[in-house]
C-alpha cells in the first residue's frame, strides 16, 4: 500500500477515534491492520529499513540523527578554521 494512502487512512482513523466514533479496541485493531498492510509483517519502517519493534525503529532514527549532528559539528568546525568569513 502506498505511504500516502496509509497516512490518509491513519489520519481518518485518528479523527474517528478522537470524535468518539470508534472504540479503543477497534482503533487499535484497525491501526494494527493498517500497519500489517504496509509490509505484510507488521514491522515498523524508517528510511526503507524495517524494524521488528517501534523501539528499535526509534533507536535507529536517533542513531542517524546523532551521526548527522556529529558530522555537522566536525564539518562546521573545520569550515570555520579555513573560512575567511566572519
Confidence check: pLDDT of 62 > 70: yes
> Residue 85 pLDDT more than 80?
yes
Q: Write down the pTM of the prediction.
A: 0.43
pLDDT confidence of 39, banded at 50, 70, 90? very low
42: left (phi over 0), alpha (psi -120 to 50) or beta: left
Confidence of residue 40 (pLDDT cuts 50, 70, 90): very low
Residue 58 has pLDDT above 50, yes or no: yes
Q: How confident is the model at residue 78 (pLDDT cuts 50, 70, 90)?
A: very high
Amino acid at each position: 500500500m502506498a505511504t500516502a494512502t496509509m497516512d490518509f487512512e491513519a489520519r481518518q482513523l485518528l479523527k474517528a477515534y478522537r470524535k468518539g466514533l470508534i472504540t479503543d479496541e477497534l482503533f487499535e485493531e484497525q491501526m494494527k491492520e493498517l500497519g500489517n498492510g504496509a509490509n505484510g509483517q507488521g514491522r515498523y519502517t524508517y528510511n526503507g529499513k524495517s524494524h521488528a519493534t517501534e523501539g528499535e525503529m526509534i533507536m535507529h532514527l536517533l542513531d542517524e540523527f546523532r551521526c548527522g549532528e556529529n558530522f555537522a559539528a566536525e564539518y562546521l568546525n573545520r569550515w570555520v578554521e579555513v573560512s575567511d568569513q566572519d
